Amino acid sequence: MSRIAMTVGEGFEDSELRVPYDRLREAGHEVVLVGIEAGSVLHGKQGDEEVTVEQAAATARAEDFDALVIPGGHGPDHIRTDADMVRLTRDLVSSGKTVGAICHGPQLLIEADAVRGRTLTSWPSVRTDLINAGAEWVDEAVVQDVNLVTSRKPADLDAFCDALLARL
């Protein structure tokens, strides 16, 4: 089975972390919560979830993972200024491994300069950022472009998870 890095930052969207995390684990995959500081406790923006970072981005390497999942909420905005988080994201995208991002998750892809010439979707407020970074934005539940899988919002989670699982 696959080993999957899931980025996490304070204020992540609770369901966008929990649902893919549980679905991936139920399918037999290992999911590692990667954040800025190992051992830090982070909270979902809805107040329903509390998680502990299992591995610091500084020690994470693309070759140690088969895929990456970026939940949305405020988390991506908090972690996209961390050089190690950006490096890990860039390395996983450029390696051709599956990278999923939902809602505000593409903010981290933008910071990693991984969207130019690609077609993605996101939460509507990220649309202009994606276009300005060279992506084509579409309003669809799931968009797959080479190794990128993107979705818009919590209502798209089933389709998002199905697309990720089909690729692993």
Residues known to be catalytic: 103
- Residue 123 is inside which H or E element, if any? none
Distances (CA, A) of 60 to 19, 69, 103, 144: 23, 14, 24, 25
- Residue 135 is inside which H or E element, if any? none
DSSP secondary structure of 31-77: EEEEESSTT-EEE-TTSS-EEE--EEGGG--GGG-SEEEE--BTHHH
C-alpha count within 13 angstroms, C-beta hemisphere, residue 36? 13
